[in-house]
Amino acid sequence: MQDQTILVVEDDRKIRSLLRNVLEDEGARVIEAETSAEVMRVIAEMPLSLITLDLHLGADNGVDIARQIRTVSQVPIIMVTGKDDVIDRVVGLEVGADDYITKPFHVREVVARIRSVLRRSGLPAPVAETGATEGSAHFSFDGMTAFPDRLELIDRANAPCELTSGDFKLLSVFLKRPKRVLSRDQLMDFTGGVEWSPLDRTIDNQVARLRKKIERDPSSPKLIKTVRGIGYTFACDVKTVHPSETPAKSA
């Protein structure tokens, strides 16, 4: 976590202090916030690598704060929830959180989750607006184009499609394995998520969120199809385009 800046949003001073000490020991720079106003001020003032966001902040609601964050930033968010806050976790993932941690937690789990999300969402050096990084490949499917190096998806109208880092990671898994049936266990493993259980709806909710953004009709998905009792398959043809395959311009 060296040189990473992490915003810890928590109204319990003891937990904030615990997270600060643990993350600073890992080499991260830690900023603290307790309220929605403080969160939005920090986001406006500095670039962040990741946010840990407690769902229950007294007068403020973590889900509402996540919605506000997503209107201005795609910074990775890890929700911190209570043991029985299943609905809150689902809603949190739907509004754009990348992962969640359940209280009470072990500090080693926190570090592991943060490292995992940072790896999944890590951006390369900035890319010039004129095109993809030299040597990088991109994927074309159903009128859309995905650029993994930029975590960018261009939609059918040639406009950027807003995806969270978690959305893009899941999409990348499908694009690299088109027309293969992938179980929920495999999807959790490929995306670096937590261990899946039959009662865990994390993958299902992430798929539903991704469908809303890439399907022509999310109520009748043609790209990401459900394989009953197993998982999902990306049913669309995918073309992987390498820079060397790009036609040269005529003189």
Q: Are residues 165 and 209 both part of a single domain?
A: yes
Instruction: Determine, yes or no, domain membership for 86.
Output: yes
Instruction: Determine, yes or no, domain membership for 249.
Output: no
The structural domain count of the chain equals: 2
At residue 27, the pLDDT reads: 86
CA distance 151 to 130: 16
CATH of the domain at 148: 1.10.10.10
At residue 243, the pLDDT reads: 61
CA distance 1 to 145: 31
Range of the domain at 46: 5-121
Specify whether the backbone of 225 is left (phi greater than 0), alpha (psi in -120 to 50) or beta: beta
CA distance 195 to 200: 9
| pTM of the predicted model over 0.85 | no
Instruction: Determine, yes or no, domain membership for 250.
Output: no
Instruction: Determine, yes or no, domain membership for 247.
Output: no
Instruction: Determine, yes or no, domain membership for 208.
Output: yes
At residue 51, the pLDDT reads: 95
Q: Are residues 87 and 182 both part of a single domain?
A: no
Q: Are residues 79 and 165 both part of a single domain?
A: no
- Residue where a domain stops, chosen among 121, 149, 181: 121
Q: Are residues 158 and 223 both part of a single domain?
A: yes
Instruction: Determine, yes or no, domain membership for 32.
Output: yes
Q: Are residues 87 and 179 both part of a single domain?
A: no
At residue 129, the pLDDT reads: 34
Q: Are residues 144 and 216 both part of a single domain?
A: yes
Q: Are residues 234 and 148 both part of a single domain?
A: yes
Mean pLDDT for each 10-residue chunk of the chain (251 residues)?
Answer: 87 88 88 92 92 86 88 89 68 78 83 84 40 61 89 89 84 91 83 53 86 94 93 93 54 39
Instruction: Determine, yes or no, domain membership for 128.
Output: no
At residue 103, the pLDDT reads: 82
- Residue where a domain stops, chosen among 65, 94, 121: 121
The single-letter DSSP state of residue 192 is T
CA distance 121 to 166: 7
At residue 250, the pLDDT reads: 40
At residue 84, the pLDDT reads: 62
Instruction: Determine, yes or no, domain membership for 129.
Output: no
* 123-179 tens-digit pLDDT: 433 333 333 334 467 899 999 999 887 788 999 998 888 888 788 889 999 998 999
Which DSSP string do the residues of 86-101 spell out, in sequence order?
A: HHHHHHHHHTT--EEE
Q: Are residues 148 and 108 both part of a single domain?
A: no
- Residue where a domain stops, chosen among 121, 148, 174: 121
Q: What is the CA radius of gyration of the chain?
A: 19
At residue 53, the pLDDT reads: 93
Pairing of strands 77-81, 50-54: parallel
Specify whether the backbone of 233 is left (phi greater than 0), alpha (psi in -120 to 50) or beta: beta
At residue 85, the pLDDT reads: 62
At residue 119, the pLDDT reads: 80
